[in-house]
Chains A and B, each alone.
Chain A
Amino acid sequence: MVKDLKDELRPLILKHSEEVREFRQKHGSKVVGEVTIDMMYGGMRGIKGLICETSVLDPDEGIRFRGHSIANCQLVLPKIPRGEEPLPEGLFWLLVTGEVPTDDQVKAISREWAKRADLPSHVVTMLNNFPPTVHPMAQLSATLTTLSSQSHFAKAYAEGKPKKLYWEFVYEDAMDLIGKLPIIAATIYRNLFRDGSPVCPIDVKKDWSWNFTDMLGYDDPMFTELMRMYLTLLGDHEGGNVCSHTCHLVGSALSDPYLSYAAGLNGLAGPLHGLASQEVLLWLNKLQQDIGVDVSDEEMHAFIWDTLQSGQVVPGYGHAVLRKTDPRHLVLREFALKHLPEDKLFRLVSQLYKIVPDILIEQGKAKNPWPNVDACSGVLFTHYGMTEMSYHTVLLGISRALGCMASMIWSRALGFPIERPKSMSTTGLKKLCHSN
């Protein structure tokens, strides 16, 4: 009999709380970095100010989930029998406990999430009444906000439950939220793009991603494998990105997980954060219109050369945080090379991968010319029929819930207080400078 994740967590929380307490006692006053005026005007980039236990970005290896590199996760996280891609249930277990789960533990999570997938009728009514002009991300966040009526945490808080038990109610909400995300997202999809045809019922024997692709209306098992892999890869990315930070910030005011994650999704909907994959697809479509789809390397080289020379960018390139290609991009690329090497859009993307870094260097525009993870994700979804670009960010929103919810459980477990940095006015800063 597999121990419930909640029961697994209990001793881990006790142990880690003690570890943090000891650590802070010894080193609590250690200075970890400077803050300058430029950084205050610069969006706090570079300022260390948050704790995130679930993932850390290694500049050479890329994101590490509880210390495990992407490559290692691909290797050790459980897959379905005869499957090749890790299950996001396994990533969630890893993020929450710090330990790689067994097949049985992952199956238990799949069952839990399937059991928690039901929606109250007022939420179904709301979903079915959104006009098609409301963007899928807005629909998703609005629906999650409304689910706040079901929050166990909100109820527990109102009943005056002690602070040390908060995490248990946050855990229940987190598991409910993740369980409900596929059906909400699938309903949004079918309402917007499949004439409002109903989603099929959940099958408790299927894993989370499989139920999701079934409800979306896709029956290609490779698409389901892609979904498993994507939802795992994008599950977490440190604590400072807009979505994760917002969720953490709102949660620190003891807003329930539904309100907190809906807020995070609103950040993800911003063009600077979550829309990169869409931009790449739009640009690829335009490229196809301009020079066609079967382009020689020389023609592609000339086209990209002119694009960059004229001061435009190639979406997906030029914002490298790592010192080499993001390993998540490489995993997506490997999947495509294996399963859809002849796909026309993917061949374009592959050509770009060969040619763009070369030109960025030749023109002296970048010494870190690596593509980011969005440079090829949209192309993969499009291949299996999900051509609706506005929906791709929703997939990211579903994936990121895993990390955000794992972190939220721990934030309440460790008793993190309300987040409230100090702001200053320009006048105040000037005074500060003169007085030195």
Chain B
Amino acid sequence: MAAPVRLFRELFFHSTRCPHREICSGIDLLNGMSKQSTWNRFYKMRQEKGEKSFDWFVKYDDIKESLEQYMPNDCAVQPFQLLDIGCGTSDFSSKLFSDIKASKLLYCIDFSQNAISHLVSLNMDSTTSLDHQIQFIIADATSLPFTSSTFDLVIDKGTLDAVLRNDNGADMAVSAISEAIRVLKTNGHFLQISDEQPDTRFELLQQIAMKYNCQLSVNFKQIDTSFGMEYFIYTINKTVSS
């Protein structure tokens, strides 16, 4: 079974507070990207269109070679624990998960109830779900319901980009990153996949890393895509435990 977890499931029923619009356009999302209610509308709309999964920037297959270096050895004793922060309805982490050959556990979290319930119903009959190898949890990136030093690999694909949109976005981003670092094991890696350029994102990560006094090392590289968009993988490696 998983390492001890301060698990909580909050199921919000907020349909009365939701604006009466069925559509969540790109501009709606752009303007409300930090808000849970926006994302709930977004996922509801896409599910009503019959969409099974939605990925930001890249899909797993686009970058799986770059992720191989973070996979565990086959002969690892402890189960490899993977956390996806802000999973949405993407199949990125579950595909990564299925490529891991060792014993493993995956937690996918999102603050959107609609995203999580969609993933739960999609995975209801899969063996991994029945074994509790994959769990879908409603949680907030700035307050993770996990004990410290739990995860070997933490992934954030496009989540911090949404967190940064809050009015006090910079502070909340620092909270979110600190939480991710907290739940990371020693020698673990925290990956952020984003379209935000290194001038801004890497600078933010370096500033945060400096506060940790040599316990973190940071890096980034550009992802090669066949189309012209620029994406980056930012990595934080926890070298020493805090």
Contacts and interface: CB of A to CB of B under 8 A. Distances in A.
Q: Are A and B bound to each other?
A: yes
Interface stretch (A131-139, A145-153, A353-361): A353-361
A312 B229 CA distance: 9
B71 interface: no
A46 B221 CA distance: 10
A34 B217 contact: yes
B43 to A, nearest CB: 12
B161 A367 contact: yes
Contacts of B227: 311-313
Interface residues of A, number: 32
Contacts of B55: 364
Interface stretch (A68-76, A223-231, A318-326, A393-401): A318-326
Contact of B26 (A39, A311, A313, A358): A358
B196 A34 contact: no
Contacts, number: 96
Contacts of A318: 195, 228-230
Determine chain B's interface SS by DSSP, over half rule. mixed
B26 A360 contact: yes
Contacts of B210: 31
B102 interface: no
A27 to B, nearest CB: 14
Nearest to A314: B228
Interface in A17-50: 31, 33-34, 36, 38-39, 42, 45-46
Given A365-B229, A366-B229, A359 B33 contact: no
Interface stretch (B114-122, B180-188, B197-205): B197-205
Interface string B208-231: 011000000111111000111110
B221 A38 contact: yes
Given A312-B228, A321-B200, A367-B195, A357 B26 contact: yes
B172 interface: no
Interface in B36-60: 54-57
B198 A366 contact: no
Nearest to A30: B210
Contact of B203 (A46, A312, A322, A367): A46
A71 B28 CA distance: 26
A360 B30 CA distance: 10
Interface string A335-363: 00000000000000000000001111110
A362 B42 CA distance: 10
A369 interface: yes
B174 interface: no
Contacts of A42: 220-222
Contacts of A38: 219-221
A50 to B, nearest CB: 13
A168 to B, nearest CB: 34
B206 to A, nearest CB: 5
Interface residues on B, range: 35 or more
Nearest to B27: A358
Contacts of A359: 26
A59 interface: yes
A311 B217 contact: no
A28 B59 CA distance: 44
Contacts of A367: 33, 56, 158, 161-162, 194-196
B25 interface: yes
A357 B220 contact: no
B96 interface: no
B45 to A, nearest CB: 10
B228 A313 contact: yes
A33 to B, nearest CB: 5
Contacts of A313: 227-229
A253 B77 CA distance: 58
B162 A357 contact: no
B144 interface: no
Contacts of B194: 367
A382 interface: no
Interface in B155-202: 158, 161-162, 164-165, 169, 194-200, 202
A361 B229 contact: no
B206 A34 contact: yes
B222 A364 contact: no
Contacts of A311: 226-227
A5 interface: no
B100 interface: no
Contact of A46 (B54, B198, B230): B198
Interface string A305-337: 000000111000011111100000000000000
Nearest to B207: A33
Contact of A368 (B196, B209, B218, B220): B196
A57 interface: yes
Contact of A358 (B25, B209, B217, B219): B25
A358 B29 CA distance: 9
Contacts of A45: 198-199, 202, 222
Contacts of B54: 364
Contact of B27 (A320, A357, A365): A357
Contact of A57 (B162, B199, B209, B220): B199
Interface of A: 31, 33-34, 36, 38-39, 42, 45-46, 57, 59, 311-313, 318-323, 357-362, 364-369
Given A36-B217, A321-B199, A368-B161, 12 more contacts: A38-B220, A42-B222, A312-B228, A320-B195, A358-B25, A358-B26, A362-B25, A362-B29, A364-B55, A366-B195, A367-B161, A367-B194
Interface of B: 25-27, 29-30, 33, 54-57, 158, 161-162, 164-165, 169, 194-200, 202-203, 206, 209-210, 217-222, 226-230
18 contacts: A33-B206, A34-B209, A34-B219, A38-B219, A38-B220, A42-B220, A46-B220, A57-B199, A59-B199, A312-B227, A313-B229, A318-B195, A319-B230, A320-B197, A322-B200, A361-B29, A364-B56, A365-B195
